[in-house]
Chain A
Amino acid sequence: MRGRYVSRTLASVLLFRQPQPVGAGAAANRPFPGAAPRHSSDGQEQPKAWDPALLEFLVCPLSKKPLRYEASTNELINKELGIAYPIIDGIPNMIPQAARMIDRKAQDEEPKQT
């Protein structure tokens, strides 16, 4: 039991990386380099943010090929089939019926520009 408390205090020292004065008030004022803030202001401002980690798992349900995230339109694009899946409120909608056909004209223009 004692060993656990010892390891906890030593761990807190490791995390803070500076001498810890007695009193919880001081701890609250200093930013902790190791720990991530629980309620970041970013999270509150953008609750609808898209999590790019999902791209590892997601593929097109029709062709099972990987997708590309398009930040400008907030969509997941399958270039091969020319369809785009919308992301609404941070939740990607992978139902084929919800997918939008990408305009062929836009696709033809791309090789000309590059």
Chain B
Amino acid sequence: MAASIGAVGCRALHSRRHGKLLSIGRGLFSGARCLVAEGETHFGFQNVSETEKGEKVYHVFESVAKKYDIMNDSMSLGVHRLWKDILLHQMNPYPGTQLLDVAGGTGDIAFRFINYVRSQWEYQIKQKLKSHQNLSWQEISKSYQEEELKLPGGSQVVVCDINKEMLKVGKQKAQHLGYSEGLSWVVGNAEELPFNDNKFDVYTIAFGIRNVTHIDQALQEAYRVLKPGGRFLCLEFSQVNNPLISRLYDLYSFQVIPVLGEIIAGDWKSYQYLVESIRRFPAQEEFKAMVEDAGFLKVEYRNLTSGIVAIHSGFKL
């Protein structure tokens, strides 16, 4: 009895005050999660006020924007591409899906979405022809025309990020790679999205939610803008479950990554913030509870690379 009340109390505390994280003696970095005063939050291992956190995060990404993609490749040794591909496979969008990619910055998820939807469409056309279904001439000519003009089925992806430098880099990338139709860029705050209710089929946030000052507000906004039946997907760094890998990972994170940051991007502090913010982010179960608190149902998570990253998924039903 007492234990269950304690657990309920714990969750209520988490949902109301994200900043207060009780240390539950969770191994090496339990010290990093300590009680924080009201109105304060964490910026890596520092305690800062909430307004400060927003500004500091903005400056971090403003300074790393141009080298963001190169740094991702070097820090994760290219594995981040696999993680993002797996996210898309889990999403499995069909032509016609409306996607909102929050904290989408340089557009990795958006471009993968477009590729996926296009190949799904081609696959569907092939299947139709293989099974000898007779398409009318109008349908065939329409399919050739649509390829040129817009995304198949009217799919749309809106990339939203609080940082316009990241979006600028993303937009340039899109122009180089030839993505233009069905793709929009908006500067917006994940806690106060400039979109109407019930608009999107899928909401994704990849490696962005740990930088949001009020995670619960971001989750509530996600719930608001999704259509009923819509899916919430979050790809984020999480807690490693294997103790040996955990030790190697910590060594790599704290010894190698900031050095890489200094050499490649000329910015040690930003990458120090990055690895610290990963340690501060709630573990899989805790985050799952936060997603459930926002109203999502059938919330599940899937660990990738022994828990270095996790994909949390929920539905608005």
Contact = CB atoms under 8 A, between A and B. Distances in A.
A98 interface: yes
Nearest to B137: A14
Nearest to A57: B195
Nearest to B162: A95
Interface string A44-66: 00010001011001111110101
A64 B189 contact: no
Given A11-B141, A14-B141, A94 B196 contact: no
A7 B129 contact: yes
B158 A57 contact: yes
Nearest to B140: A11
B43 to A, nearest CB: 19
B230 to A, nearest CB: 14
Interface residues of B, number: 31
Nearest to A60: B194
Given A10-B137, A47-B175, A91-B186, A61 B148 contact: no
B167 A94 contact: no
A24 interface: no
A77 B39 CA distance: 32
B188 A89 contact: no
Given A36-B149, A43-B180, A57-B199, A90 B185 contact: yes
B173 interface: no
A89 B185 CA distance: 10
Contacts of A47: 175
B132 interface: yes
B99 to A, nearest CB: 12
B192 A62 contact: yes
Contacts of A36: 145, 148-149
A27 interface: no
A7 B140 contact: yes
A83 B284 CA distance: 41
A57 to B, nearest CB: 6
A94 B194 contact: yes
A20 to B, nearest CB: 14
Contacts, number: 85
B164 interface: yes
Contacts of B189: 61, 94-96
Q: Which of B132, B135, B148, B197 has the most CB of A within 10 A?
A: B148
Interface in A3-28: 3-4, 7, 10-11, 14-15
Contacts of B11: none
Given A7-B140, A14-B137, A14-B141, A61 B167 contact: no
A3 B149 contact: no
B195 A35 contact: no
B67 to A, nearest CB: 20
Nearest to A37: B148
Contact of A34 (B129, B141, B187, B194): B141
Contact of A3 (B132, B175, B194, B197): B132
A64 B188 CA distance: 13
Given A38-B148, A61-B193, A89-B168, A54 B175 contact: no
A93 interface: yes
A10 B135 CA distance: 12
Contacts of A59: 194-196
B241 interface: no
Interface of B: 129, 132, 135, 137, 140-141, 144-145, 148-149, 158, 162, 164, 167-168, 171, 175, 180, 184-189, 192-197, 199
Interface of A: 3-4, 7, 10-11, 14-15, 34-36, 38, 43, 47, 51, 53-54, 57-62, 64, 66, 88-96, 98
Given A35-B144, A58-B186, A95-B189, 16 more contacts: A7-B129, A34-B141, A34-B144, A36-B148, A54-B184, A59-B194, A59-B196, A61-B188, A61-B189, A64-B197, A91-B167, A91-B168, A91-B171, A93-B187, A94-B194, A95-B187
